[in-house]
Amino acid sequence: MPKYTLSVNGQTMTAEVDEDTPLLWVLRDHLNLLGTKFGCGVAQCGACTVHMNGNAIRSCVLPISAVSDNEIVTIEGLSKTGDHPLQIAWEENDVSQCGYCQAGQIMAAAALLSRNPTPSDEDIDRSMTNICRCGTHVRIRKAIHSASEKI
């Protein structure tokens, strides 16, 4: 099996896996970064959202062979102590129910705020395409607006 050298959360990491292995499973099964979740495997739900060079991508369909030296950031690397304004806003607004999709939601929101620090409701509608089966959308929207005010 080929060996890949990756930049994840500012660190250099290596994994020996088949070239078609999705980044998601490399993160979870080989690098023990379990915060990124599996939901559909076809880039629909966004539970697997991570950043690649600052953009939100769905890691379940990105083969490891295509990652190259692009910089990957996962929920574990979004902030040092869980204090990114979105993470704080998520807690303050008690957004989560089951919590399974929320790491992906936060990563999607973080990518949105990094290119648009003051998103309108329409911007949020367009950018936040992740599925939340518990229906926390109203609180997610509120948390994004409140984090936006603090950035």
Partner 1 sequence: MKSTISRRNFMKVSAISGGGMLLSFSFLNANANLKQTGENLFSPNAYISLNSDGKVVIMAPNPEIGQGVKTSLPMIIAEELGINWRDVKVEFAPLKDEFGRQSVGGSGSIRGRFNELRIVGATAREMLTTAAAQTWGVPVSECYAENGKIKHSPTGKSLNYGMLASKAAELAIPSSPKLKDPKDFKIIGTRVNDVDASKITSGQALFGIDTRREGMLFAMVSRPPAYGKKLKSVDDAETLKVNGVKKVIKLENSVAVLATSTWSAKKGRDALIIEWEAAEKLESSSAHFASFEKMVMDENVEPARNDGDFETTKSQASKVLDVTYEIPTLSHGQMEPLNFFADVKEHQVELYGPTQVPGSLRAQVSKKLNIPEENIKVATPRQGGGFGRKLMTDNGVEAALISAAAKSPVQVQWTREDDMQNDFYRPAEMYRFQATLSENELLGWYQSGVAIGRGARGNSYVAGALDNYRGIGQGYESNTPIGWWRAPGACTLAYVAESFMDEICVELKKDPVAFRLEIFDKAKVNPVGRLSYDPDKYKGVVEHVAKMSNWGNTPKGIFRGFSTWYSFGSYVAEVVDIELVNGKPRVVKVYCAVNCGRVINRSGAENQVQGAIVDGICHAMFPKVTFVNGAVEETNFHAYKFLRMKDAPLDIEVDFVDSDEAPAGLGEPALPPVAAALSNAIFAATGKRIRKMPFNEQLT
Q: Which residues are at the interface with partner 1 (CB under 8 A)?
A: 1, 17-18, 20-22, 25, 28-30, 32-42, 44-45, 47, 74-76, 78-79, 82, 86-87, 90-91, 94, 96-103, 106, 121, 124-126, 128-141
**Which string of DSSP letters, residue by residue, matches 57-114?**
EEGGG-BGGGTTTPEEE-GGGS-SSS-SHHHHHHHHTT--SS-TTHHHHHHHHHHHHH
Tokens linked to 46: 């966004």
Classify residue 69 as exposed, middle or buried by CB count within 10 Å of its CB (0-12, 13-18, 19+). Answer: exposed
CB of 7 to partner 1, least distance (A): 18
Nearer residue to partner 1 within complex by CB, 5 or 93: 93
Nearer residue to partner 1 within complex by CB, 45 or 57: 45
Nearer residue to partner 1 within complex by CB, 94 or 149: 94
CB of 19 to partner 1, least distance (A): 11
